[in-house]
Amino acid sequence: MNYLDTLNPKQREAVLATEGPLLIVAGAGTGKTKTLTHRIYHLIHQGVHPRNILAITFTNKAAKEMRERVMHMMSQDHGMNETPILSTFHSLGVRILRRFSHEAGLKKSFTILDSGDTMKLVKEAMETLGINPKVHEPKKIRSFISSKKSDGLSADSFGKATHSAFTEIVSAVWVKYEELKSKESAVDFDDLLLKTLDLLEKNIQIRKTLQNEWKYIHIDEYQDTNRVQYDIVRLLAESHHNLCVVGDTDQNIYSWRGANLRNILNFEKDYPEAQIILLEENYRSTKNILLAADEVIKKNTARIHKELRTKQGDGEKIKLFTAMNEGDEARHIATTAQDLINQGNSATEIAVLYRTNFQSRILEEAFLRANVPYQLLGTKFFERKEIKDVVSYIRAAFNRDSLSDIKRIINEPKRGLGPAAIIKIFSGLRNDLPPAQGRTYDAFEQLLDKILDFSSDHTPSEFVRFVIERSGLFDMYKNGTEDDHERLENLEELVTFATRYDIAQSEQHTPQPPLIEGAPEQIEKMLEDIALQSDQDQIDDSNKKSGVKLMTIHSAKGLEFDYVFIGGLEQGLFPHDGYDEKKTVEDQEEERRLFYVALTRARKVLMLSYAMMRTIYGEQKFNMPSDFLSDIPEEIIEREDNFGGDTPEPVRTVYLDW
């Protein structure tokens, strides 16, 4: 029982409460991952078979960390080769839909579309319907459809409820979009959840089968679940109620993508017999950081009250820098980061957080001028053109119905198959092609056959290398421009990425039959992971990119650093006004939660800043300090500026419209 000795009393209580519903309210830095993994291991130690345990979180990074911790603990016990299912919600949806593809009305080899793929199909749907993209923005329509899917609506159910000109257009595009996906045997991210829920609701036998398999269910970040995720969890746990959810109302920052705070607030109502355990001992931050965070968040009303405490000392005061403008602020952040690095601190332990993406540009310029290494989270590796080309070759080899993938690569590299030829091919008129183009297309199909054949008896990294070389992409880039050489380096990195699946393949104890026909399991897993990448998955754990991390606060959720900068703390920017004339109380509280999340990313030192002037949309504006700053006790703030004197305390300004 030594594994229990490392837990504090509340963590231990949560680990031992194995039967029935349990809500663990885990404040920032209170060891929720440790508690969850120890609880899973305790269940196994008590005789529960690993296959009867399911744990779901929101990012691949978090799932990987949980998996590694559980496997390490299990390695201490001889004979424990099988691990529980530890995955994201979307990965769970893939697992269920592949397994029960026939019942879900899908092919086993269905393709998972990323955000770029879905936008292409939405635009194609609009073009087919004659809807002008300059009048009706495709991105807005796509986002609207996604939000409705998060609420559990289908194209059919939404169509029956439409009542405005815009929603009528959305409804028509949605129906056509679903038709295009169906033709390609493809699903989008939202389908992975919505179709899983539909399957569980309509097929009692499948629901019972999964309930009998997963007798102990754990949900991380429960405050971030949307309506569909909530219903999936409810159905999986309805027969045994052994449901452990972990969350924090103060860290709900994703309402814009469907997260419903009521799911965690109503847990006791949903499960009256539930136990509630609060984790309040913080192992991350100093007392001053926690005091600032507590003073900020306690103004919110929609929350489960808790008070974080720590055995660490007071730590340094919170630094507050007043800049003349955004350039001054960015220079200060870059030079301070350089000073920290010169003092022997690791660049990977420094993060710069900001409210909106546009703030990154001026920061990048400042870091480049100061010659400070940095890593910007935002440009996803797997969204680069050359990477998507290789992935499309692989997906097209396994799923010949995926017309989007075939359209992407049929002329990449150039094969002389122009738009007219492609239209004939996609219309089933292959025989109408001129002889030369017919032979070219036959060679293309033979290439896809060779890719499929090669996958069956080679490691994933060998397979990816084969695709890069045989497709002609390697030859196309190797003698090209400097940009082409960079693309080639990215393709080499893709091979490196695939090696992690080589290891998984060699360590696999009991090989499972592939869920995609013709696709070896580890290649299938690689495709799934690529499709479900999140912003946090860009962080290089091997420290190959050992620079200061620049990211939005939303991307920083779940991460922690020794030194944290939070820039742009100006009224209107953070809290963010956006384009809404009036923010609701819920919107205002979410902005406050977002600031709370930013504050609690810091372990040792917290550095805040704002600019008195900032140019936004080409117009220079004078700013007032964020109201959030006035919530932090003055005695724990250390002020500085570039003006040679003390910075005045934040004051409120009333504007008169003459």
Cβ neighbours of residue 107 closer than 8 Å, sequence gap 6 or more: 101, 185, 399, 401
Dist CA 72 CA 76 (whole Å) = 7
State which amino acid sits at residue 645.
Answer: G
Q: Are 363 and 354 in contact (CB under 8 A)?
A: yes
What Å distances lie between residue 301 and 86, 218, 305, 587, CA to CA? 33, 27, 9, 12
Q: 644: burial class by Cβ within 10 Å (0-12, 13-18, 19+)?
A: exposed
Three-state DSSP class for 553? helix
Q: 476: burial class by Cβ within 10 Å (0-12, 13-18, 19+)?
A: middle
Dist CA 170 CA 162 (whole Å) = 9
Max Cα distance, the chain (Å): 82
Q: Interhelix angle for 138-150 vs 115-129, to 10°?
A: 110
Dist CA 108 CA 97 (whole Å) = 8
Tokens of 203: 């097929």
Dist CA 288 CA 105 (whole Å) = 55
E strands in 79-181 = 85-88, 111-112
Dist CA 7 CA 2 (whole Å) = 10
Dist CA 608 CA 637 (whole Å) = 10
Which residue is associated with the tokens 């045997």?
185
E strands in 517-601 = 548-552, 561-566
DSSP state of 634: G
Dist CA 42 CA 22 (whole Å) = 15
DSSP state of 144: H
β 548-552/243-247 pair status:
unpaired
Write out the DSSP string of 382-443: GGSHHHHHHHHHHHHHH-TT-HHHHHHHTTSS--S--HHHHHHHHTT-GGGS-HHHHHHHHH
Of 47, 38, 1, residue with least CA distance to 17: 38
Of 45, 39, 187, 43, residue with least CA distance to 108: 187
Three-state DSSP class for 23? strand
Dist CA 329 CA 315 (whole Å) = 24
Torsion of CA 147, 149, 153, 157, to 10 degrees: 90
Of 411, 410, 401, 330, residue with least CA distance to 363: 330
Active site residues: 32-33, 220-221, 251, 601
